[in-house]
Amino acid sequence: MCMKHSRRALNKEKSRRSILKASRKLFSDQGYDETLIEEIADLAEVSKATVYNYFPDKDSLLIAIVEEVEEGIEDYLDAELSAETNALDKIRRVLTELVLASLQYPGLSRRIVFLNSSRTSTLHGTLNEIKSLLYQLIAAAQSDGCLSAEISAGEILDLLMGMHFIALFQWTGEGIASAQDQQDKLDRLFDSVMQQYLPPIKDPL
């Protein structure tokens, strides 16, 4: 009985992930408004009823896509950055994960960013978890002396989210760079901006 229950749970999770994967592809390839639930079901190889069983509407699919990205970043933080001692490098690497994940589906990511800022949208505030994570890392970097405490963590967070928006709205289109080129470009932007907020170097006595 326990094995049957476990197998059923695995099948449910597999179906859910297939639906989200199909949604990301179709929303990105042909547009959110143009995509029908039937098309998502066909690509995910599930019934239309199964899609509605997990997600009552298309907005709930977008919310789940954001949550999946957030979970991936949190897993990355736990698995890859647990031994990282430099608080500033933690911020850099989490921002890089966010930017590269967004650039995989730029059109879809831009829609999510727009709806996140609209108070009338069901997606309003969906990026708050990522912002909260970055805020905590900024505060830790200030506490460790890696970043100046003269500017608020909230203002630095705004700068980081601004880098995300620059990448999302300006680094796409024809001639899009490889993931490595995008990461190198982000590193240069990050270094240039954050240089202004490093603590002052104390003169040796």
pLDDT at residue 203 tops 60: no
What pLDDT, on a 0 to 100 scale, did the predictor assign at position 8? Answer: 75
Nearest to 123 by CA among 171, 177, 64: 64
- What pLDDT score does 40 carry? 97
User: 169-202, pLDDT tens digit by residue?
Assistant: 888 765 566 888 888 999 999 999 999 999 876 6
Q: Do domains 1-56 and 58-197 have the same CATH topology?
A: no
Please write the tens of the pLDDT for every residue from 105-141. 888 899 999 888 888 988 888 889 899 999 999 999 9
pLDDT reported for residue 70? 86
Domain ranges of the chain: 1-56, 58-197
- Looking at residues 70-87, what average pLDDT do you find? 81
Higher-confidence residue: 80 or 67? 67
pLDDT category, 154, cuts 50, 70, 90?
A: very high
Q: 146-178 burial, b if ≥16 CB within 10 A, otherwise e? A: bbeeeeebeebbeebbebbeebbeebbeeeeee
What is the C-alpha to C-alpha distance for residues 162 and 158, in angstroms, rounded to an integer?
6
Q: Which residues contact 201 (CB under 8 A, 6 or more apart)?
A: none
Residue 61 — very low, low, confident or very high, per pLDDT cuts 50/70/90? very high
Q: What local confidence, expressed as pLDDT, does residue 96 receive?
A: 92
Contacts of 61 (CB under 8 A, 6+ apart): 19, 20, 23, 27, 40, 55
How high is the pLDDT of residue 173? 61
CATH class entry, domain 58-197: mainly alpha
Overall CATH class of domain 1-56: mainly alpha
**Amino acid 202: pLDDT:** 62
Confidence of residue 98 (pLDDT cuts 50, 70, 90): very high
pLDDT tier, 9 (very low <50, low <70, confident <90, very high otherwise): confident
